[in-house]
Amino acid sequence: MTASHQHERSDALMERARRVLPGGVNSPVRAYRAVGGEPVVLAGGSGALVTDVDGNEYIDYVASFGPLILGHAHPAVVGAVRDAAERGTSFGAPTEAETELAERIVEAVPSIELVRLVNSGTEATMSALRLARAATGRDLILKFDGCYHGHADGLLASAGSGVATFALPDSPGVPEAFAAQTLVVPFNDLDAVERTFAAHAGAIACVIVEPVAGNMGLIPAADGYLAGLRDICDRHDALLLFDEVITGFRVAPGGAQQHFEVTPDLTALGKVIGGGLPVGAYGGRLDLMERMAPQGDVYQAGTLSGNPLATAAGIAALDTLAADEGAYARLDELGARLQEGLAGAAADAGIALSVSRIGSALTPFFRDGLPGDYAAARECDLDAFGRFHRAMLERGVLAPPSQFETWFVSLAHDEDLIDRTVAVAAEALAEVAASG
Ligand SMILES: *Cc1c(COP(=O)(O)O)cnc(C)c1O
């Protein structure tokens, strides 16, 4: 954990990457626009640690933005992928592994009776919304400001200020007519949802929500909020879609719906269920999912859906988790240790910091008091977060490069690594305090 890493090869590789990749990356969240500086280019990972191309080692809390609940290169996952690869990487025909992964999902997730495997979380939410619209015969969907559901056109919409604005596109290239099918209201505000349904009576197909928001920093639903959404949807014959791409098998085997005991009509999954390979899934009640082609009339397909490598990795990850009875208690313990450590270090340094957490997912917000919605999260001291991120990186801790991302602890972390992280954070926060 020496300070002042050298990043010569990393910097050279990023410069080379920018000549052939927009911004040098294949997903904008990997760039360091929000925190300043250059991303480190990684060469490998093992357990809770990753190594960059200059040979620097980091304790990792990015975890591929969520999937790696077992840590990097877990032997069970690596072995399953290797075995699968030797049997053939893709067939365009059914395989046993697809059913095996689907069985595990149906068994674990309370609301899912039938499930369709796809290749990403984006595909999962996009397809589930198509189904919701088909099933209700309505076009409008309601989402929450700051919730991210992948990059499909109609979902790249945040809110203007005020309640129930028709969303403006977040990105050029999204037709206004698409974004206009999306209503956006603040998270954790049931009155806003009530008013929006009243204003669009009989027109809203579906409410889509991250039951624990993970893309505005980690912001759990307030007490009674998810049950309230369930009730409103029922009263208006609208469907409730939980985007559990992060929370599925992360906060509990059955996701947030198991943890909060609220049952959605449809659920989108991704991340953990792929064991680090590209996977998504959506599922729900039988009568809804039976509408999907070829059983029903709603079309959705995929050349690589249910891919043998991805399903092998997913099965291995879920089976490893299921075989470890204490897994979620352990993740919770490690998460709590990090949460308390970061909060204590900030208090010592005199920095305003509040750490939200559910199980092994957490976010240190650079503000007093936990935010309940995106507007409150945006009040954070983003400059301080950037300096903190850089100071951590230089001391061997890799945190997600934005205040609005979630940190993930894996089963490969242990008390020693958490304590080393907290010691590094204490130094980093003292540096932030000194420079602020
Ligand atoms: C990551 C994420 C997605 C999108 O998944 P991709 O696999 O990146 O397409 C959707 N919803 C939530 C809540 C996510 O965190």
The verdict on 151 and 278 lying in the same domain is yes
Q: Do residues 259 and 383 share a domain?
A: no
Residue 86: inside a domain: yes
Q: Is residue 185 part of a domain?
A: yes
User: Is 299 assigned a catalytic role?
Assistant: no
In this prediction, residue 160 carries a pLDDT of 36
Domain stops at, among 293, 323, 353: 323
Rounded to an integer, the average pLDDT of 22-31 is: 93
20 φ/ψ sector (left φ>0, alpha ψ -120 to 50, else beta): alpha
pLDDT digits (tens, 9 = 90+) for 96-134: 999 999 999 999 999 999 999 999 999 999 999 999 999
Band of the pLDDT at 167, cuts 50, 70, 90? Answer: low
Probe residue for ligand 1, chosen from 30, 148, 245 as the CB with the greatest number of ligand atoms within 8 Å: 245
Tokens representing 327 are 């897994």
Residue 373 has φ and ψ, to the nearest 5°, of: -150, 180
pLDDT single digits (tens) 255-303: 999 999 999 999 999 999 999 999 999 999 999 999 999 999 999 999 9
Q: Which DSSP helix (H) or strand (E) runs through 313? A: helix 308-323
Looking at the fold, whether 155 and 194 belong to one and the same domain comes out as yes
CATH number at residue 36: 3.90.1150.10
pLDDT in tens, 315-361: 999 999 999 999 999 999 999 999 999 999 999 999 999 999 999 99
Measured distance CA(76)–CA(293) in Å, rounded: 34
The pLDDT-based confidence of 159 (bands split at 50, 70, 90) is very low
3, pLDDT greater than 90:
no
Q: Span 143-160, mean pLDDT?
A: 82
Domain annotation covers residue 391? yes
Question: Which of 268, 295, 323 corresponds to the end of one domain?
Answer: 323
Ligand 1 probe mutation, 246, 250, 402, most atoms within 8 A of CB: 246
Catalytic residue among 32, 58, 61, 148: 148
CATH of the domain at 106: 3.40.640.10
Q: DSSP 3-state assignment of 303?
A: coil
pLDDT at 158: 62
Query: Cα(177) to centroid of ligand 1, in Å?
Result: 23
- Name the band, by pLDDT with cuts 50, 70 and 90, for residue 148: very high
- Classify strands 42-46 and 49-52 as parallel, antiparallel or unpaired: antiparallel
- Residue pLDDT, tens place only, 134-143: 999 999 999 9
Å from CA of 319 to ligand 1 middle: 22
| 34 CA distance to ligand 1 middle (Å) | 19
* Residue 163 confidence (pLDDT) above 80: no
Q: How many Å lie between the centroid of ligand 1 and the Cα of residue 215?
A: 9
Q: Please identify, by atom number, the ligand 1 atom nearest to the C-alpha of residue 120.
A: 7
One domain, residues 174 and 272: yes
3 in a domain, yes or no? no
Decide if 69 is inside a domain: no
**Annotation says 148 is catalytic:** yes
Low-confidence winner among 97-101, 136-140, 159-163, 364-368 (lowest mean pLDDT): 159-163
Q: Are residues 209 and 252 in the same domain?
A: yes
Distance between CA atoms of residues 176 and 4, nearest Å: 47
Please tell me the distance between residue 4's alpha carbon and the centre of ligand 1 in angstroms.
Answer: 33
Q: What is the pLDDT of residue 332?
A: 98
Task: Select from 68, 119, 129, 149 the residue to mutate for testing ligand 1; criterion: most ligand atoms less than 8 Å from CB.
Answer: 149
Q: Is residue 100 located within the same domain as residue 243? A: yes
Nearest CA to ligand 1 atom 5: 121
In terms of domains, do 355 and 286 share one?
Answer: no
Domain with 356 in it: 8-61+326-435
Instruction: Check residue 174 and give its pLDDT.
Output: 85
Average pLDDT, the chain: 95
Options 189, 243, 265, 381, the catalytic residue:
243
Q: Which domain-ending residue is among 298, 323, 348?
A: 323
First to last CA, the chain: 24
Domain count, the chain: 2
Q: Is 293 in the same domain as 333?
A: no
- Is 366 within 8 Å of 8 (Cβ atoms)? no
Residues 230, 361, single domain; the answer is no
In this structure, is residue 420 part of a structural domain?
yes
- Examine the domain organization and report whether 303 and 334 are in the same domain: no
Instruction: Respond yes or no: is residue 416 known to be catalytic.
Output: no
The catalytically annotated residue of 271, 328, 373, 381 is: 271
Strands (DSSP E) contained in 287-368 are 354-358, 361-365
Residues 100 and 160 in one domain: yes
CA distance readout (Å), 109 to 94, 256, 265, 354, 376 = 23, 9, 12, 31, 31
**How much of the chain is in helix, strand and coil states, percent to nearest 5?**
40, 15, 40
Please check whether residue 66 lies inside any domain of the structure: no
Question: Which of 170 and 397 is assigned the larger pLDDT?
Answer: 397
| 116 Cβ contact partners less than 8 Å away, ≥ 6 residues apart | 127, 281, 282, 283, 289, 292, 300, 305
360 lies in the same domain as 304: no
Looking from the CA of residue 244, the nearest atom of ligand 1 is: 13
30 occurs within a structural domain: yes
Mean pLDDT of 10-24: 97
Pocket of ligand 1 (CB under 6 A): 120-122, 125, 148-150, 210, 214-215, 243, 245-246, 270, 280
Position of tokens 């945006």? 378
Half-sphere exposure of 297 (CA within 13 A, CB side): 3
